[in-house]
Amino acid sequence: MSKIRMTTPLVEMDGDEMTRILWKWIKEILIEPYVDLKTEYYDLGLLHRDETADQVTLEAAEATKRLGVAVKCATITPNRQRMTEYNLHEMWKSPNGTVRRILDGTVFRSPILAKGISPYVPTWKAPIVLARHAYGDIYNAVDHICEAGDKAYLTIEHKDGTVTKKLIAEFEHAGGVVQGMHNRADSIRSFARSCFRYALDLKIPMMFATKDTIAKGYDGEFKAIFEEVFEEYKADFEQAGIWYLYTLIDDAVARIVRSEGGILWACKNYDGDVMSDMVATAYGSLGMMKSVLVSPDGKYEFEAAHGTVTRHYYKYLKGESTSTNSVATIFAWTGALEKRGELDGNEALVAFAQKLERATLSTIEEGYMTGDLIPLFYADVEPKKLESEEFLREIAKRL
């Protein structure tokens, strides 16, 4: 068999621990035998980030801007314990944060559905794609614990030197708490663009919600910017037969629970933080959650939503058997290959990506899976627990 050709390379960002092991196997067992794989390789493994003073992360992000499509392996975000474990020069920032900042992108998370693994919410039949605005609000807030007798004001200094001052609260008899937070119109606008663009890509309707009845100025501005940006996409939405709905956050939550899924849900930063964990848990396993970063000008970075699965890696290093779910990492590869194929008009590559996804799902649906999925599986066949590599070989048989 001749291999499928690629015209433009993908940006490949390698990573850490167990997912780095899976990465190599996925390429060897499922991709390279069939595709003449072309990638620009960047090693984002923690040791190499440390050796290059994190330059490699910046280069990988710049390459994504240039080539338009990237696939990323999970990486360690160092904390104090990792500083000693890897003998690091610095506590480098999260690579995901760095890439997101450079691409000004939005992260969309969605579950991978397989027959036999049903969500805890029985009405959910299609994925709920959740977008979190990862800038501002309480995450960059300033707060203060006040004492009795304090008065708190919101003060704005304008360019012309004048000042606007508003009383927030008077703490007459008892102390309390106060917080100042912000967001930026350009960040909200980029977020809105990425969301509308991705809903169009997936051809699914989209919902955005805030609490503008209460936060009239703050959330009112979010609502207005989304409305304004939607004008740019309105005609395309109509043509694709999809809709955009703005509603209140409590109404949105109720609608999501009774929906069938198949919707993109755009969330403000805090709502997205909380709701993404709720939606992910309700769909089953972290190993089945994928994630894509989309920039407002249409650059894509695909990855798994989970981390480097450290606990399994330490077992692997001891030579013990592991049963780590590689599905989300496989789908990161297929997402990137399919997008590359779409952009280059490479139908063979698109078809290959779809077949690999189908083969992966059939493997699970026929009862062959990793340990995390066993307790979630309800079907006529008795599920068999496979080791990490065995699972990939089982997919290869079907591919």
Binding site for ligand NAP (CB under 6 A): 74-77, 96, 286-287, 303, 306-311, 324-325, 372
Query: Nearest approach, Cβ of 303 to ligand NAP (angstroms)?
Result: 6
Interaction partner, residue 372 (Mg ion, ligand NAP, none; CB < 5-8 Å by kind): ligand NAP
| CB 71, CB 12: distance < 8 Å | yes
Residue placing its CB nearer to Mg ion in the complex, 44 or 107 = 107
Where b means 16+ CB within 10 Å and e means fewer, 181-210 reads eebeeebbebbbbbbbbbbbbbebbbbbbb
Tokens for 228, please give them. Answer: 């304004």
Query: Nearest approach, Cβ of 343 to ligand NAP (angstroms)?
Result: 24
Residue placing its CB nearer to ligand NAP in the complex, 310 or 354 = 310
Residue placing its CB nearer to Mg ion in the complex, 107 or 353 = 107
Total Cβ atoms within 10 A of residue 86: 16
Interaction partner, residue 301 (ligand NAP, Mg ion, none; CB < 5-8 Å by kind): none
| CB 295, CB 103: distance < 8 Å | yes
Residue placing its CB nearer to Mg ion in the complex, 228 or 277 = 277
Interaction partner, residue 273 (Mg ion, ligand NAP, none; CB < 5-8 Å by kind): Mg ion
Which residues is 248 bridged to in the sheet?
210
Query: Nearest approach, Cβ of 273 to Mg ion (angstroms)?
Result: 4
Rg (CA), the chain: 23
Alpha-helix residue ranges (DSSP H) falling in the chain: 17-25, 46-51, 55-67, 80-85, 95-103, 185-202, 218-240, 249-258, 269-283, 310-317, 327-344, 347-365, 388-398
| Residue 320 CB partners (closer than 8 Å, separation 6+) | none
Query: Nearest approach, Cβ of 280 to Mg ion (angstroms)?
Result: 9
Interaction partner, residue 308 (ligand NAP, Mg ion, none; CB < 5-8 Å by kind): ligand NAP
Q: Which residue is nearest to ligand NAP (CB)?
A: 307
Residue placing its CB nearer to ligand NAP in the complex, 46 or 206 = 46
Query: Nearest approach, Cβ of 274 to ligand NAP (angstroms)?
Result: 17
Binding interface with Mg ion (CB under 5 A): 273, 277
* Dihedral sign of CA atoms 54, 60, 66, 72 in order: negative
Residue placing its CB nearer to ligand NAP in the complex, 75 or 183 = 75
Query: Nearest approach, Cβ of 92 to ligand NAP (angstroms)?
Result: 11
Q: Which residue is nearest to Mg ion (CB)?
A: 273
Whole-angstrom distance, CA of residue 43 vs CA of residue 304 = 17
Interaction partner, residue 277 (Mg ion, ligand NAP, none; CB < 5-8 Å by kind): Mg ion
Query: Nearest approach, Cβ of 21 to Mg ion (angstroms)?
Result: 26
Interaction partner, residue 75 (Mg ion, ligand NAP, none; CB < 5-8 Å by kind): ligand NAP
Tokens for 138, please give them. Answer: 């309480």
Residue placing its CB nearer to Mg ion in the complex, 249 or 350 = 249
Interaction partner, residue 334 (ligand NAP, Mg ion, none; CB < 5-8 Å by kind): none
Query: Nearest approach, Cβ of 57 to ligand NAP (angstroms)?
Result: 11
Residue placing its CB nearer to ligand NAP in the complex, 58 or 200 = 58
Closest CA to 294 of 158, 100, 120: 100
Backbone dihedral angles phi then psi of residue 304, each to the nearest 5 degrees: -85, 150
Whole-angstrom distance, CA of residue 344 vs CA of residue 374 = 39
CA contacts within 13 A on the Cβ side of 259: 19
Interaction partner, residue 216 (ligand NAP, Mg ion, none; CB < 5-8 Å by kind): none
Whole-angstrom distance, CA of residue 232 vs CA of residue 311 = 47
